Amino acid sequence: MAAAVVLAAFGSMGTAQAQSAIESRVDRLEREMRAVQRRVFPGGAGQYFEPQITEPAQSTTAPGLPASSPITDLTQRVTALESQITTLTGQVEQAQYRLRQIEDQMAAGQRALQARLDALEARTAEPAPVAAAPRNDAAPTASTAARSATPRPNAERRAWIDAVERPSSGDAAEDAYVYGYRLWQAELYPEAREQLSTVAERHPHHRRASWARNLLGRVFLDEGAPAAAAEAFLTNYQRDPDGERAPDSLFFLAQALRQLNKPSAEICRVYDELLEVYGDRISDQMRTQVADGRRASRCR
């Protein structure tokens, strides 16, 4: 009888110790849960959703039905708390990552905008140079002027160039082309021409070579040099007719010829070549533009 009493006493002590250990885990997890809630919802967790842990309702279990033990209840609470903490922690990490991305994009946009404003203010403040009348035997053509034009090196332009982000994907040709494209978007045409020419020369077998030669012609068009643009477009088509931008080069070649006031027959031949070679590859938008161009040039 005494042994039974001793065993019962030890058993109750073990149960009490286990319950105390679990209760300490619950208290710790509840504190962590509140800390996470304050981090996710600075205004107060209870202000936004109902608390996950509430006072249990009064049981109306009929007499004689067994109830769950306190250890089982605490274990369920621990499991629920651990799951909630894991979910909230993951949400916090995702939110912080997205916030960093947005901040980086905003900072890059602000740097680019500030550089443009600085360059614009510098050009506005400087007096326009007085150009001497060119000699008739040395008057440069538009193509020659565009090829030899170099920006005046100054701090404002350098800041504008530095504001253009350089990609770093690990693909040298891809990164070089994307950087040239961004320079073109920023209207830094001489730098864009140099960058795109480098892509075509150093990576002639990369898929971006066709893109670079085609965009080089676009740069010449934007600079008002249709003769140089026509040469670039024709070179891209002849050098890599299977390239991804060969159809675009033929289309823009026709645009360059129109700016050069070439005969309609030449322009129509370019359109005919485009439809004959790439008729099944061009987009619906380009097909519509080709039709408009043929009407403007009175092609049959």
**pLDDT reported for residue 86:** 73
Whether 156 is in a domain gets the answer: no
Residue-level pLDDT at 151:
53
Domain contains 27: no
Domain-located, residue 60: no
pLDDT at 125: 40
Report d(CA 297, CA 268) in Å as an integer: 7
Q: In which residue are the tokens 């100054």 written? A: 154
- 3-class DSSP state for residue 183? helix
Cα distances from 83 to residues 29, 30, 132, 207, in angstroms, run: 11, 12, 79, 49
Residue 68 covered by a domain: no
Q: Is residue 203 situated within a structural domain?
A: yes
Nearest alpha-carbon partner for 217 in 241, 263, 251: 251
Mean pLDDT per block of 10 residues along the chain (300 residues) reads: 46 57 74 69 50 50 55 75 73 70 68 61 41 32 41 75 90 95 94 95 94 96 95 95 95 95 94 93 92 92
- CATH number where 205 lies: 1.25.40.10
DSSP 42: T
Domain span holding position 284: 167-296
Is the full-model pTM beyond 0.85? no
Whether residue 256 is contained in a domain is answered as: yes
Is 192 contained in some domain?
A: yes
* pLDDT confidence of residue 52: 47
Nearest to 112 by CA among 178, 160, 183: 160
Number of domains in the chain: 1
Cα separation, 11 vs 8, in Å, equals 5
Is residue 225 in some structural domain?
yes
